[in-house]
Amino acid sequence: MTNKNNLMDNKINCKYILNKIFTGSFLDYNLGHEIINFIKMDDNNRYIYVNPYGERSELSAKYTEYVFHIMGIVYKNKRYYELTAVSKVSKDDIGYRKNNKEEKNELKYKKFSLRKIFKENNNDNRSHLCTFKASSFYKPKKRILFLVNENTPEIVNESEDIIIIKLTCNPQHSRAYSREADVKFLDEIINKYLIVNNDVEKWDNYEEELCFSLISDRTKLENSVFF
């Protein structure tokens, strides 16, 4: 007999999106659209791009509060997802449309239109300009690693430098919405383990092209790999 509480815990809760960044064969031929999660546009605002094509559901538009940008890594010979940054979702209208060709928003970076940048690097024209506007941008105080698709969410390891958390949601295919059982653990990350990412501000107006490892302060993480 199925436990009713288990069914409730397994229910999708759209408060959080776990968004996999910089992964897959898409990067072999296209600009990584999700780089906009880490830089400011010319209007001095931050925006959020959720993989795979910047799309969102009506429930997400209504209920999502935070996007966790995660990346696959290997730590002590085991695979995890590491939290690289968190964007808080603003409810400002960004001109998002189900048909992306109807979107009028002309966001620019270094005076270049995102529509032009994306079109030149994306032949299928499925991508939206962005998914949300961000009201805040955070980085972790310590390394935060996730084990996903687990039966029960829990903190399995916590020290001064790292915390490892099991989650029931599974962002295997680019993204995942949190489940009811995960929410209290993700809430704890928001309340205890994040700081406003002021360090990244120094890159926003830098004139040279910079790699992602500098923007996200990953130069210290020698055992990080993409998957």
The DSSP letter of residue 161 is S
Whether residue 179 contacts residue 169, with contact meaning beta carbons closer than 8 Å, is answered with yes
Q: What local confidence, expressed as pLDDT, does residue 116 receive?
A: 78
Higher pLDDT, 66 or 103: 66
Q: What local confidence, expressed as pLDDT, does residue 144 receive?
A: 95
pLDDT per residue as tens digits for the range 151-201: 999 999 999 899 999 999 999 888 999 999 999 999 999 999 988 765 444
| Burial class for 174, CB neighbours closer than 10 Å (0-12, 13-18, 19+) | middle
Which element (helix H / strand E) includes 16? strand 12-20
Which residue(s) pair with 157 in the sheet? 164
Whether residue 148 contacts residue 81, with contact meaning beta carbons closer than 8 Å, is answered with yes
Report how far residue 225's alpha carbon sits from residue 207's, in angstroms, rounded to the nearest whole number: 28
pLDDT per residue as tens digits for the range 111-155: 888 877 776 555 556 788 899 999 999 989 899 999 999 999 999
> With pLDDT > 90 as the criterion, what percentage of the chain qualifies?
48
